[in-house]
Amino acid sequence: MLAVERRGWPGPGAKERAIRERLGISPTRYYQLLNALLDDPRALAHDPVTVNRLRRVRRNRRERR
């Protein structure tokens, strides 16, 4: 999942298609799992740059609500 998040995506829908094709799950389920993964210390140890970036994005979205 972190590898999917590290990639740049060319346009709308490309990431969602890749999630369905590569991981075999719906984008909704992907984002549920990703959100839980961001709280896992093992994910932070594995890829701190990506996890910290995604945590910042999540925090900013929550603050805007």
- Of the candidates 6, 7, 26, 8, which has an alpha carbon nearest to the alpha carbon of residue 16? 26
| Helix/strand/coil percentages in the chain, nearest 5 | 75, 0, 25
The predicted model scores a pTM of 0.85
Residue 24 pLDDT > 90:
yes
Residue 33, amino acid: L
What pLDDT is recorded for position 35?
96
**Which of 3-12, 27-36, 55-64 shows the lowest mean pLDDT across its residues?**
3-12
